[in-house]
Amino acid sequence: MKDIRGIVTTIALVCLATLGCDGGDGNRATGGADSCAAGGIGDLDGGTEDGASVTDNRGTSDGGDGDNIVSVDSATSYWPAVLGNERTYSVTHADGTVHVRITSVIESSPTEFVQKTVIDGASTFFTDTYVINDNGLGISSSMYHFAPDDTSQMPVVWTPPLLVLPANLTPGFMSSITSTTPSRATLPADERDVTVNGVEAVTVPAGTFMALKISTYSVEYGQGGSGESHFTSWYARGIGLVKSVNGPPDKPKLANTTELVSYTKN
């Protein structure tokens, strides 16, 4: 949570993305557009001023034949785990520094998927394994890779998985869960409350979306003391995370905001 990846730790549901290329499912042009500009609600002409774009190669709103989509109730409707799906974000820090974060699904099965994250085009990257269980959608492990073929690092494994989206997405519902890991000696435990706030409109460079708002309060603790974080995330149906605001309340200089710039769906 204290690095750029911490923003992913949020992601969610029951919203209709009303991008300019909206059609039957609210996220694409009728007939399945190959590409369309995301300049805001109702922008169909591809002439968006900010240049944000959307590519949609799906034939149906559920990602084609559905064989390569992970789903559980409605939770992963708001974080599609389709192989090859890619999202580009801008991450703005309190000091004005801006980074580019690109995430893509590189492995997928009915019960879990692996997401790769590259920051500023570096050769190093992160992978996070997400699992689907009775609690909802959570991160079971994370690993840092020094090179594309690097497998030398031990993953940080969480039991139970760090909760991202609860299985119950009813507005007002809160899920509390404590996860532990043997991989971190100083802060081996993460206690978090994840609250479903409801649906609201949110505008980012990729467009304006009706998105489910999720608030997470997290405390990490152990021999190294403790530290808390508050982060708020917005998720659009069929797309995933569109915005996140993250930061320890007592350390505003560590705050950052992540916003969706463009995405590709297969």
On whether the CB atoms of residues 246 and 256 are closer than 8 A, the answer is: yes
pLDDT tens sequence across 22-59: 333 333 322 232 232 232 222 222 222 333 333 333 22
Nearest to 176 by CA among 135, 142, 222, 233: 135
From residue 235, how far is each of 45, 63, 69, 108, 143 by CA, in Å? 25, 17, 17, 20, 24
pLDDT digits 0-9 by tens, 65-122: 333 333 334 677 888 888 989 999 999 998 899 999 999 999 998 889 999 999 998 8
Asked whether 195 and 168 are in contact (CB, 8 A), the reply is: no
Least confident of 24-38, 205-219, 222-236: 24-38
For the chain, what is the domain count?
1
Tokens of 155: 């993953």
Given a contact cutoff of 8 angstroms between Cβ atoms, the answer to whether 138 and 131 are in contact is yes
pLDDT digits (tens, 9 = 90+) for 147-200: 777 766 778 899 999 999 999 999 999 999 999 988 766 668 889 999 999 999
Where are any strands of DSSP class E within the chain?
35-37, 53-56, 86-93, 98-108, 112-119, 125-133, 136-145, 156-166, 174-180, 189-204, 207-222, 225-236, 240-247, 256-265
Q: Which domain holds residue 104?
A: 4-265
